[in-house]
Amino acid sequence: MDALAGSPLGWLCVGITALFGVTILCRAKRSLAEKANVLAWSLLPVLLGLLCMATLGAGRGLVACAACLISSMYLGSRELLPVGDKAVLITGSDTGIGHALAKYLDNLGFIVFAGVLNKDGPGAEELRRTCSRRLSLLQLDITNATQVQEAYLKVSKKVQNTGLWGVVNNAGVLGFPADGELLPMNTYRQCMEVNFFGAVEVSKTFLPLLRKSQGRLVNMSSMAGGIPLPRYAAYGASKAALSMFSGVMRQELSKWGIKVAAIHPSGFRTGIQGTSDLWDKQEKELLENLPADTRQAYGEDYLLGLKSYLPRMPTYCDANLSPVLSAILHALLAKRPRGLYTPGKGAYMPLCIFCYFPLWFYDFFIRKMLSTDSVPRALRTPEAESKNL
């Protein structure tokens, strides 16, 4: 201890540990009901850090204190608030993630407002049959400002002075996966209208209720909203806009005590690709809007082969939605939620490659990962091939 007392590094070690201890005590004082829990996971690392300083000396003690601080922060990020009487609005609850999330949160004891596109549809009927009376169904087309306002009035009447704890902007459309040049402008507009403008409309409308509770805004983006992926120009652009909106809102709403998170899942089986009837309609619209020279350059077999990608999508996707549901629950209840969640296999690695590696390497990686045998007609000719060498 003599060597520790005479060392500037030792005093730094003591200062860090003392600051850490004061922070923990302040947290316990603010939340007396959880004092025992706070002390259980936090005070022990402090004592361990002091013991390390006393026995290992200043240098190793500092390392021990840093390790204690990091482990405590990690444990703190895993600490969840009680469900209590928290109310959450979920959009797009007819099918997929929204449907599963409504059941999941209802089972945990949340008061759930499940917004559905069709209040008389099979998804809404299943929620009525399987969920508790705490769950309320709302007719909610998020592109319809009147329905959004009506939903706000119904929710505000029920939550009254307590406010709304969470809004999960889940509703979304995929569009027809095809080269960006081929997609009709209507596909771009529809994706932006639902995936971005609809989410913004809902967020802006319900923020007064979130402000009352100092609650959470959770936006369901996509891996395609963080990295460029071939054939997802319309969908990816709309989700990228939603991700940027989430980031800005996270910064701006922090002064109100509202926490904002974006979810970037990898491939999960949600049914977002739609039905065969919808594919036929989208394919017809795509073909009818193509200029003759573009149609000639790509070729009929390439264009007609685009639709074959849609039935294969579920085979590449995970049917287990648990990672996504767990991420949303953490965003809703964690004392220190993350700003970005990447649930699912392969969701984080492409994002890291895109952010930290040269773009040519990322493009090479994506080409290999999403390789396809389909080649436009013009690129099969010797003349076109020689131009691209």
Query: What are the pLDDT digits (tens) for 218-275?
Result: 999 998 899 998 889 999 999 999 999 999 999 999 999 999 999 998 876 666 666 6
Given a contact cutoff of 8 angstroms between Cβ atoms, the answer to whether 339 and 247 are in contact is yes
Residue 209: how many CB atoms within 10 A of its CB? 21
**φ/ψ bin of 77: left (φ > 0), alpha (ψ from -120 to 50), beta (otherwise):** alpha
Q: Per DSSP, which regions of the chain are E strands?
A: 87-90, 111-116, 136-139, 166-169, 216-220, 259-263, 340-341
Which residue is it, tokens 């849609």? 310
| Strand arrangement of the beta sheet that strand 136-139 belongs to | 136-139, 111-116, 87-90, 166-169, 216-220, 259-263, 340-341
The Cα 126–Cα 128 span in angstroms is 5
- Please compute the mean of the pLDDT values over residues 110-123 and round it to a whole number: 96
Which among 16, 78, 76 has a CA at the least distance from the CA of 49?
16
Cα–Cα distances in angstroms (integers) from residue 277 to residues 49, 111, 283, 310, 375, in the given order = 64, 36, 10, 12, 26
Instruction: Specify the amino acid at residue 178.
Output: A
Q: Which two tokens stand for residue 373?
A: 């045998």
Model confidence at 370, pLDDT cuts 50, 70, 90, reads confident
Residue 382 has pLDDT above 90, yes or no: no
The residue with greater pLDDT, 13 or 343, is 343
Given the residues 104, 152, 235, 341, the one annotated as active site: 235
pLDDT digits (tens, 9 = 90+) for 21-56: 555 555 544 444 344 444 444 555 556 666 665 665
State the average pLDDT for the chain.
82
How many Å apart are CA 328 and CA 334, to the nearest integer?
A: 10
Reply yes or no on whether 235 is catalytic: yes
How does pLDDT run across 72-97, given as a tens digit for each residue? 555 445 689 999 999 999 999 999 99
Question: Do 233 and 182 form a contact (C-beta atoms < 8 A)?
Answer: no
Q: Looking at the domain that runs over 87-369, which CATH code has it been given?
A: 3.40.50.720
Residue 271, token pair as written in the block: 């049914």
Q: At what angle do helices 35-56 and 8-30 cross, to 10 degrees?
A: 170
* Length of the chain, in residues: 389
The verdict on pTM exceeding 0.85 is no
- CB contact at 8 A, 340 and 264: yes
The answer for residues whose C-beta is within 8 angstroms of residue 25's C-beta and 6 or more apart is: none
Asked if 227 and 347 touch (Cβ cutoff 8 Å), the reply is: no
